[in-house]
Each structure stands twice: as structure tokens, then as C-alpha cells.
Structure 1
Amino acid sequence: MPLRQRLADLRGPAVPPRPLDARALAALAANPGCGRRALLDGAGVDKTALAGALGSPAGFGQSQFAIARGNSFEARVKADGGAELLRLVHERLGAGGEPPGGRARVPDLAAAGPEGRAGRTALALREATAAAREEGAWSFLDHPMLVLEVAGTPAYLEPDAVVVHPDGRWTVVEIKSFPMIDGSADAPKVGAAARQAAVYLLALERTAARLEGAEAGHTALLVCPENFSNLPTAAVLDLRKQRAVTRRQLDRLTRVEELAAALPAGLSFDVSRPAEELAEAVASVAASYAPDCLAACELAFHCRDRAREAGSVTVLGRSVRGELGVLTTVEEALDAAAGRGEGPDDGPSPERAALRLAARLRAEALDAAGDGGRRLAGLPCPRPEVP
């Protein structure tokens, strides 16, 4: 059976594929080992509707207040033809070029449909690169439309902005409403912004490859409010690592045929089916749950419940999972700490030895601390004998 038909059967014959956006592609890069997400996204399954049908609706997303605040901040950054944005770009990434002043070009990117907008963006980038070479002009593209092929299907992506420098370089700009306090911001949020910018960079590189002499730099500019004000400040993001991870994950999506071929015939993620059938279908695809999924995947609550039922150590986080090595369940870890569950023919296990040592040291520390230490640890204290 052709792959396109197989994927259509997986999401439901009458269900149109859900297009991938930059957030979804960035989330794939954040959890590259999850076959469940790779297959569902590759097949264009609406994971929000699927989570609702399974009884575990997605619980993340921005509030209307946060969206309004973000839109207001972005409008301020881009006011006056992007003057403040271009000032920040020149300050952080100007590399000695002339300040933009009043010479910045702001091309009109309006067109019909995403295909038309993508074509208009490619033309604007070509014209901006030529103007940079001939006149040394800056160009500011507001919400351009880029295209990136994912699993044989074009994904249309819309970054906040792309700036063309006087030397012809292209830079992706990400505008976020979370604050940058004393020059630094919340690390998980910055990481998510970098992964999203890396997706845009990959699409921008595909466009640059078709234009002679065009170059998409490996850095992006993150613009955020400074401290607790609404004034913009910026930081440079090095995207080389995120770009490599995202490219590998997208290459994995092109092999979604292998994941689909391993599924039993007749299996479907059509949300019109009974919840029991959907749960069985989802369980047939291996997942790699981690607490980070709660902020990035619509199926996170469903996967967390299944991981808890199985006693998987993945619910404790990726770092704990990595430290425990061959021990994949909480019960196995507790048995190892107590010196149980290791047969006479088992080879030496550093994870088991480390857990036994940790349990012994904990017991010694609690004994030395007395009843106060046991109370802090939530352990029962022996009652004193009453004469």
C-alpha cells in the first residue's frame, strides 16, 4: 500500500491531515526518541482531538492575557518600520556594518494562500539580497512565509521576522513576551525558543540554497522585554546544536513508513472510534514520556497516566532515567536499593550498587539525626516507652 494511503487510513479516510507548524517540529526535536509523536505528526493526526477522545485533554497553552501581551510587545518592537528591531540586530549582530538609520527596506509580503505567500517571500529575499550587495541596504521582512518539506509534505512556517543585513546575511528573529532579567531569561523557555528558531533556520537555508550567494547565518536574535518593563532587549542564540538535532528528527520523520509498517492492519487513530479502540491503537506505538512533554505535547497527560500505571521511571525525568540505566521501573529501583531482585547469575550492575550505597548512607544519616531527621523524611518514629 502506498505510504500516503496508509497514513490517510491511520488518521481516518475522511479526516484531512493536520499541517505541521514550527512549534510542533520544535517539540519533535525536544523528544527525538518518541516514536508515537513521530508517527502521529507524520500522519497528520490531530493530537488535540485525539487526547480529548481518550479522556485526557491537553492542559497547556497560552492564556488570552498572555497572547494579548505578546501581540502588544511584538507590535512595539516592529513599530516605525522595525526601527527598534533593526537597532537591536545591528547592536548584537551588526559585525561592524553601518546602522540601519532610515534606509531599511520593508517589502510587502501579501499574497493569496500560503503557497503564494511563500513564493512572495522567496522573491522578497532575492530582491533584499540584491539590494544589500548593490546599496548596502538593510531589509526587514515582517512575518514572512517559509516552506520546509517534512515527510514528503510541505510545511508552511511563519517566523516573527527575518532581517537581511547589508552584507547579504539572513537572520531569524524570535520575539517572545517572557522577560529577560539582568541579561538572562528562563532557561527552558529560551531552549524552546531556540528549537523553534532552528526550524525556521532550516527552512531559510532551503530558500538560500536556491539563491546564488545567499547565506542564512547559524545564529538567531531573541527579543524579549527587559527586566520588568515593556522595553525590548535582545540576546544572540547559537542554533548549530538545535539545527542538527532538528534535522536528524526530520530525517526520522521521512522514515515514518517503517513505523507505520510495524502496526497491525486496520489500526486507526480516527477520533470517531470508541475510546477503548483508540487507547489500544495509541498503546501499539512506543512512546518516550518525560515530564517535559507536559509543556509541549497534546498527548502528555495520557502518556503520563500510562507511564504511572506501568511504574516507569520516566515519570521522574530524563536525568533520573539516565542514572538508573537498566532499571526501567520504580519497583526495580526500590528492590535494587533494598538488595533484592538480583540473581546469582547477574553480572555486576553499577546502578544497583549505587542505589544500595545511597540507601545505606540515607539510613545512617537518619539514624544519626534521630527522631527529628526521621520526621523530616516522613518516616514513623518509635514511641518512647512509658514506665
Structure 2
Amino acid sequence: MSEYPASGPPPQIPPTPAPRPATTLRQRLAELRGPSVAPHPLDARALAALAANPGCKRRALLDAAGVNKAVLATALGSPAAFGQSQFAFMRGNAFEAKVKADGGTELLRLLYERLGGGCEAAPQEAQVPDLTAAGPEGRAARTALALREATAAGGWALLDHPMLALEVAGSPAYLEPDAVVVHPDGTWTVVEIKSFPMIDGSADAAKVGAAARQSAVYVLALERIAEKTGGARVGHRVLLVCPKDFSNLPTASVVDVRKQRAVTRRQLTRLTRIEDIAATLPEGTTFDPGCSPQELGQAVESVGAAYAPECLAACELAFHCREKSRVQGAVESLGRSVRGELGGLTTVGAVLAAAAGKEGDPADPTVAALRRAAALRAEALEGRAVCH
């Protein structure tokens, strides 16, 4: 017997709606950045800074999404003075053009003097392949092809501003070194051209260290390509080219980046995958600079940060994160070494209470040390008062 009445047609059952397509990671990152905001490129300098603080999910997500952290910091009311002056930028470009003039003749001479080249004679000329292509993905693919072709040809080749791809926390980052030289023996050498001077054969140690960390990122990216290229080998000694003394004449030194490469590689593997961080954000979270400061502040605070004083020299959001860390009384604002010494005491208030004997287990070595330090300080202040 039919369950429907004979006098009319059966009721219409609405069709099951088709499932919505899953949002890809790229789409999700574009939503976080803002639909009309162009992505800010992630360069090797930023990647080296990220590797130095792998526990900071905030920076990892913002860099992967292509958020301009300088613009974001300004919108939050905590701008940071980062970047070169226009004069320094123009001077650096002029010096780089001088080094690479005439097909890179001077650059190849410096490289042969400092590193040799797998052949007996100094190079007279080198192939300079065209690396133009559409978009960073196309340029990275064209660079990989040029490297393979130059290695197979067995001669000198100079790749001017190649594009390299490196996966960071499950998301691709595109990097652009100043130059990569292919030797006749198949060795690939990274060349970093800086505008700070090299006086009497040596340069500022801090600047050289920053250049080494930056170059180590390029070495890691090149190694990914070399794994698929027969006969290729990435050199762990990079060529650092700088102005000689107080002139505009180029000179060079060799920097071994094996230590920086190992540290950077280990730190990058510790980064939480970007999709895992993005999945924890509230629906509708965006870092679009067109939003109000209140909305941007809530969005930024929805992602965990790992502030340390070292961030002040490497991250545009450092002043904002420092202020929030101080408001919360987090001991991280005092430095990583201090944080490590304090064990389970995570706030300045808890540290002061433990030192005053108001909180904490006296059997805890950290609490006992704090109370002993407080007692010694009280004795010193009391003795000073008596002397006066």
C-alpha cells in the first residue's frame, strides 16, 4: 500500500546541497592577508630571523600569509624603524651593478682568487642565462632549469638574481640571492653583495654574521635543486663581496656557512605547520590593514607569540609584542636566559612573590635561590643605609 494519498502527487524532497569545496591553504592565507592586499615577499633575511625563533607561531603565520608586518605594526600603533634609507638603498644598487658589470668579469675574478673554480685558468667570461618568467613559481622553475643546463654544459655560468623555492612549515617561500655562480666542476656558489665596507680585509662581525645566516638559507634552497641534478654540488663557502676600505672598489672574502646552515635547517624543521596554526584561528580572522586597530589587535592576539628581546632587532612587530609581554608580566620579556633559569615561574609577579617568601616551595632550588638573593640584597641595602 502506498504511503502517499491517491489524490495528489508525492511531496517534493529538496535535493541534498552539494558539499562546499574545501578551502585550500593558499586561499586561507589570502583571506588572512586581505582579499585585495598583495602578498609581501618572504626574503632570506626574514626567514633566517624566523628560524632563530621557531616557537613564534605569530611570525610564522604572518610571514607565510605575506602580511606586511611593518604596515601591521603601524596600524596597531607600535611602528618599528626597519629597513634601509633611500640613500643606502641606491648606493647598494649602484655597487651591485658595478660588481656585475661586463658580464660579471670582476665578480668572477674575485671568486676565482678566493675559491678557485675547478680549473687551472681564471675565467674570462661566463654564460648569463635569461631567468625571466611569469610569477615567482615560473621564475623558480626557470632558475632550476638554468642550473641544470649550466651544470651539464661544464662551463662557467652566472645567474643574476635567481629565484629559489624553499618549503617552510608546509608553505613555499621564494628567495632571491644576489647571484649564484656555477663552476666548471659542477659546484654552485652563493654570492652575497653588501654595501658595508671591508676595512683591512675584515668587516663588522655582526653584519657578516647576518649575511652568513641569510646565505645559509640560500644554500638550503639550492640543495633541494642539487638533489635532482646529477653532478651538482652546493658549496658551503659563500663569497661575500663588499666595498674595499672607504672606496667603491669591490673586494671579497669567503664565509663558511656550515654551522649556520645546520642551525637553520634544524630550526625550520621545528616550525609548526602553517595549516595547523591557521586551523586554530576564529572564523573571520583577518590582518587586512583596512580593518580598525581594535579588530587587528584581536586578530594578532589570536595567534600565540614567543617574544624575546632579540626580536627587537629582527621583527617589525617586536614593540607591540614587548608591550603585551610587559602588561602580562611574562618573564620572557627579560630574556631567554632568564626564562630558562626561572623554571616554572612564568610571571614577574610570581618571581617577586617567591623571593619575598609569600609563594613557592622552599625546597624548589629556583625559589631557594631567589630568597637567598633577596636576603643578600636586603643586607646590602641595610649596610648602605647604616654607612650613610
TM class by shorter-chain length?
0.7 to 0.9
**2:364 aligned with 1:348, yes or no?**
yes
Structure 2: runs of 5 or more not aligned: 1-21
Tell me if the contact between 1:87 and 1:99 (Cα under 8 Å) persists in the aligned partners: no
Q: Percent identity?
A: 71
**2:296 aligned with 1:278, yes or no?**
yes
Q: Could you tell me which residue of structure 2 aligns to residue 199 of structure 1?
A: 217
Tell me if the contact between 2:191 and 2:239 (Cα under 8 Å) persists in the aligned partners: yes
CA RMSD of aligned residues (A): 3.1
Q: How does 1:101-180 map to 2 (within 5 A)?
A: 101-132=123-154, 137-150=155-168, 153-180=171-198
Tell me if the contact between 1:29 and 1:195 (Cα under 8 Å) persists in the aligned partners: no
- 1:328 and 1:185 map into 2 onto residues whose CA distance is 40
- 1:365 and 1:227 map into 2 onto residues whose CA distance is 51
- 2:352 and 2:343 map into 1 onto residues whose CA distance is 14
- 1:182 and 1:313 map into 2 onto residues whose CA distance is 43
Tell me if the contact between 1:332 and 1:341 (Cα under 8 Å) persists in the aligned partners: no
Deviation at 1:228, TM superposition (A): 3.6
**Higher mean C-alpha displacement, 141-150 vs 177-186:** 177-186
Letter in 1 for 2:114: R
Superposed CA deviations along residues 267-303 of structure 1, whole A, max 9, x for unmatched, are 3323333222221221122111122222322211211
Deviation at 1:260, TM superposition (A): 2.0
Q: Give the 3 Å change call, closer, same or farther, for CA 265–113 of structure 1 in structure 2.
A: closer
Q: Could you tell me which residue of structure 2 aligns to residue 71 of structure 1?
A: 93
Of 326, 329, 354, which residue of structure 2 is paired with 1:311? 329
Q: Give the 3 Å change call, closer, same or farther, for CA 116–280 of structure 1 in structure 2.
A: closer
Q: Give the 3 Å change call, closer, same or farther, for CA 2–110 of structure 1 in structure 2.
A: closer
**Higher mean C-alpha displacement, 188-197 vs 164-173:** 188-197
Q: Could you tell me which residue of structure 1 aligns to residue 114 of structure 2?
A: 92
**Higher mean C-alpha displacement, 280-289 vs 257-266:** 257-266
How many pairs does the alignment contain? Answer: 366
Tell me if the contact between 1:150 and 1:250 (Cα under 8 Å) persists in the aligned partners: yes
Tell me if the contact between 1:220 and 1:237 (Cα under 8 Å) persists in the aligned partners: yes
- 2:121 and 2:60 map into 1 onto residues whose CA distance is 44
Greater C-alpha Rg: 2
Letter in 2 for 1:340: G
- 1:273 and 1:46 map into 2 onto residues whose CA distance is 14
Tell me if the contact between 2:55 and 2:271 (Cα under 8 Å) persists in the aligned partners: no
- 1:14 and 1:112 map into 2 onto residues whose CA distance is 20
- 2:200 and 2:344 map into 1 onto residues whose CA distance is 42
Q: How does 1:1-387 map to 2 (within 5 A)?
A: 2-4=23-25, 5-94=27-116, 97-132=119-154, 137-150=155-168, 153-251=171-269, 255-336=273-354, 338-343=355-360, 345=361, 347-349=363-365, 351-356=366-371, 358=373
Q: Give the 3 Å change call, closer, same or farther, for CA 363–226 of structure 1 in structure 2.
A: farther
Q: Give the 3 Å change call, closer, same or farther, for CA 274–293 of structure 1 in structure 2.
A: same
Please state whether the residue corresponding to 2:185 is helix, strand or coil.
Answer: coil
Please state whether the residue corresponding to 1:20 is helix, strand or coil.
Answer: coil
